[in-house]
Amino acid sequence: MTYLHSIGEYFLMLKGVFGRMTKTSVLRNLILKEINDLIMGSMGIVAFLSFFIGAVVAIQTALNLNNPLIPKTLVAYAARQSVILEFSPTFISIIMAGKVGSYITSSIGSMRVTEQIDALEVMGINSKNYLIFPKIIAMLTYPFVIAISMFLGMSGAYTAAVLGGFVTSDQFITGLQEDFTPFHLTYAFIKTFMFAFILATVPAYHGYYMKGGALEVGEAATTSFVWTSVVLIVTNYIVTQLLLS
């Protein structure tokens, strides 16, 4: 029953988010601030992780290709498929659930604890729209982060595979272009958009409806990370089943 109540509350929150809108000039500034906090602030860690994940995937693939009949181009092919289909959209989103999700939950949760949300409500402001809508809009730019992550992942794979002496540059480029299915990119970006919405709203729900004090803000951030990850993984499964099966 608790889960059903929470799911219902989440959808009611979403209804409120898209309810009465905040003044446009105020909203514009809030969206720009959220893009800076949520997206730009995450670029460093995303770039770092993507590059090294790509590199590790390339090395692991190369080290496991013992059969001389298997072409060396498979290193780049496997790295490309892994990075585009799962590592960039899903793995990076799980990392973002920890970084951005915890930030969203704790910032909204602190506002709840210190009566800042009550202050907004008393002034007649739709607090759900004011606090959550700009985060959803800011997260619409998340696919750009994933695009950069894909590029850096492949750069990492190239660097590790070629500089490590596993394949030549030509073999890598050939493998990179081998059997390329453009729909895989479409699939990756469709799920990235869905992940962006989840990353903005599930942590916001945990922050907005939290009760208690500073200690509970920390607990809410942890719970938020767990549930955001669960929803991401389940959504990933459903989308993959629907689009790729």
State the residues that interact with another protein by CB under 8 A: 22-23, 25-26, 33, 110-111, 114-116, 118-119, 121-125
Least distance in Å: CB of 106 to another protein? 11
Least distance in Å: CB of 234 to another protein? 33
Least distance in Å: CB of 26 to another protein? 6
In the complex with another protein, the residue whose CB is nearer, 25 or 67, is 25
In the complex with another protein, the residue whose CB is nearer, 33 or 64, is 33
Least distance in Å: CB of 239 to another protein? 35
Question: What does the DSSP assignment read for the chain?
Answer: -HHHHHHHHHHHHHHHHTSSPPPHHHHHHHHHHHIIIIIGGGHHHHHHHHHHHHHHHHHHHHHT---TTS-TTHHHHHHHHHIIIIIIIIIHHHHHIIIIIHHHHHHHHHHHHTTHHHHHHHTT--HHHHHHHHHHHHHTTHHHHHHHHHHHHHHHHHHHHHHTTSS-HHHHHHHHHTT--HHHHHHHHHHHHHHHHHHHHHHHHHHHT--SSHHHHHHHHHHHHHHHHHHHHHHHHHHHHHHH-
In the complex with another protein, the residue whose CB is nearer, 87 or 130, is 130
Compute the distance between CA of residue 96 and CA of residue 197 in angstroms, rounded to an integer: 12
Least distance in Å: CB of 33 to another protein? 8
40: tokens are 């730009």
In the complex with another protein, the residue whose CB is nearer, 2 or 25, is 25
In the complex with another protein, the residue whose CB is nearer, 115 or 170, is 115
In the complex with another protein, the residue whose CB is nearer, 130 or 166, is 130
Compute the distance between CA of residue 223 and CA of residue 189 in angstroms, rounded to an integer: 27
Compute the distance between CA of residue 147 and CA of residue 142 in angstroms, rounded to an integer: 9
Least distance in Å: CB of 117 to another protein? 9
